[in-house]
Structure 1
């Protein structure tokens, strides 16, 4: 344990797998006390058992405002405050706009966009108290929209826009706001896709390139969080070398 983040308290959403799991483990390894939130609590328990450091599981559904508030309250009750919020929870239900199942649009908006807003609203008073940081895990789809990912891209563009407005409101009060935009990452995200053609397209992309690993994204988050307090790394775009867009 290097201890770069000793004494810091971090809450990571969507921590039961993939990028969120890697970020929780990386923060704990650097000495942070981590509250790992997700719906799949059995996976969180396993994560806590593997961590090199202190990781506390908490049941969290970011689509519910009360659940978001409860997760923040749990972090404060356990550790006395909150220094870092990592908004990672999300899902990608790719597919064309024509003939879409609009309930999938609602699920993405509720989880990816509104979920991160609920978490920030609940956590911000605590982050202001300790001049902390918000990390928003976005995507290259928050920079470049493409066919068959319209609503997913809309949620990621929204995350970036909200983050910039938040940054302007809180930066002079010592809170840093970071947007991390990964390209293609090997995670369970594409498993959420219900459209068979889109799921196969994602599989083909993954097999044609050397995708990022969740640890690569976690490293970007650590880079931003471990800068001197007068340095704000507001945006990190990280793609696989093989990914052209």
Structure 2
């Protein structure tokens, strides 16, 4: 039996991109899924697709920047499946501009989703995992959590912080809770889940060569958008990240895959 089979896995940001790819892959491996995102229509479509292939899956509409909603997500998972084995903290948004543009509202949004959303997820599942004396938290950082780029200082700061939180969780877990950081480079559809105050930007089916054009529509500074456009021209598919997540989960309980950086072969940094 696969180490993934029958594990209860919560995935945030599951309605598109890396979250959707991960849900499909883990569903095919017979994990028991609880999917979370803000777009209910996308979640319903994904649930139907996974159920059609025999997967076990439920969903809950969740804004990860809202602590009460994240706690309700964990509570619903316990009510549905009786335990929580894995949390994939995937929901994130990206925006960028030089600091002297003073786009404080954008800074606040990234901090609320990318950083506080991760902490809210950990807070919601940690008591259950401690009681079980087992669990696995997988946090999505970024190559931006390893290297700061012009126009990306705040985004990179949130992703550096995710790495720090993940390592702190590992050190404090007494060997009972596994902690994994996945740091993607340029990935197709990355950034299309950028949350607006009125909901998420709809995802689209695009090729890696087209992804940067879509991504730049969410970045309000022209110079930063141009740089990101070039960066994403070599983007790899979301399933590459889903495979890395599955790899971390499927290891035996005494093996903790702490950190994976995964990026296109042609990506320079």
TM-score normalised over the length of structure 2: 0.86
Say whether 1:214 aligns with 2:238.
Answer: yes
Partner of 1:205: 231
Say whether 1:192 aligns with 2:194.
Answer: no
Partner of 2:6: 7
Partner of 1:40: 39
In 1: Cα distance, 2:128 partner to 2:31 partner: 16
Say whether 1:181 aligns with 2:183.
Answer: yes
In 2: Cα distance, 1:199 partner to 1:99 partner: 14
* Uncovered stretches (5+) of structure 1, i.e. residues with no partner: none
By how many angstroms is 1:120 displaced? 0.3
The answer to whether the 8 Å contact 2:3/2:251 transfers is no
In 1: Cα distance, 2:131 partner to 2:95 partner: 37
The answer to whether the 8 Å contact 1:83/1:126 transfers is no
Rate the CA distance shift 1:40–1:227 in 2: closer, same or farther, 3 A. same
By how many angstroms is 1:192 displaced? 2.8
How many residues are treated as equivalent by the alignment? 241
- 3-state DSSP class of the match of 2:179? strand
In 2: Cα distance, 1:240 partner to 1:188 partner: 13
Say whether 1:154 aligns with 2:182.
Answer: no
In 2: Cα distance, 1:129 partner to 1:32 partner: 21
By how many angstroms is 1:132 displaced? 1.2
The answer to whether the 8 Å contact 1:14/1:37 transfers is yes
In 2: Cα distance, 1:158 partner to 1:188 partner: 19
The answer to whether the 8 Å contact 1:76/1:82 transfers is yes
Segments of 4+ moved more than 6 angstroms? none
The answer to whether the 8 Å contact 2:63/2:69 transfers is yes
Q: Deviation per CA, 1:144-180, whole angstroms, max 9, x where unpaired?
A: 11111000000000000011111111142x1100000
In 1: Cα distance, 2:130 partner to 2:30 partner: 21
By how many angstroms is 1:205 displaced? 2.8
* Uncovered stretches (5+) of structure 2, i.e. residues with no partner: 192-214
TM-score normalised over the length of structure 1: 0.94
The answer to whether the 8 Å contact 1:4/1:30 transfers is no
Give the CA RMSD over aligned residues.
1.4
In 2: Cα distance, 1:68 partner to 1:56 partner: 15
The answer to whether the 8 Å contact 1:135/1:179 transfers is yes
By how many angstroms is 1:3 displaced? 4.8
Partner of 2:247: 223
In 2: Cα distance, 1:126 partner to 1:30 partner: 24
In 2: Cα distance, 1:221 partner to 1:129 partner: 24
